[in-house]
Amino acid sequence: MQTKVRTRYVAWRVLHGLLRDLATRINSGYRPDIIIAVAKGGLIPARILVDLLGVEEMGLIEVKFYKGVGEAREKPYVTFTALPPIDGKKLLVVDDIADSGRTLQVVADVLSRFKYMDLRFATLYVKPWSTIMPDYYGEIVEEWIVFPWEICEATGEGVRLEGIDVEDVLNYCVEKTGTH
Q: Which CATH architecture has domain 11-144?
A: 3-Layer(aba) Sandwich (3.40)
The SS3 of residue 35 is: strand
What lies within 8 Å, CB to CB, of 142 at 6+ separation is 6, 127, 128
Of 2-6, 34-38, 57-61, 80-84, give the lowest mean pLDDT range: 2-6
d(CA 89, CA 141): 31
Query: Of 152 and 26, which is predicted with more confidence?
Result: 26
- C-alpha of 62 from chain center: 11
Residue 2 above 50 pLDDT? no
Average pLDDT for residues 4-25, to the nearest whole number? 90
65 neighbors 15 (Cβ within 8 angstroms): no
Q: What is the pLDDT of residue 150?
A: 83
CA distance 3 to 47: 30
CA 159 from centroid of its chain's CA atoms: 19
12-27 and 43-53 helices, crossing angle to 10°: 50
Mind listing the pLDDT tens digit for each residue in 40-98? Answer: 899 999 999 999 999 999 999 999 866 555 555 567 778 899 999 999 999 999 999 99
Q: What is the pLDDT of residue 1?
A: 41
Specify the pTM: 0.84
Q: What values do phi and psi take at 138, rounded to 5?
A: -85, -45
Domain spans of the chain, in order of start = 11-144
Q: Do 124 and 93 form a contact (C-beta atoms < 8 A)?
A: no
pLDDT tens-digit readout, 107-141: 999 999 999 999 999 999 999 999 999 999 999 99
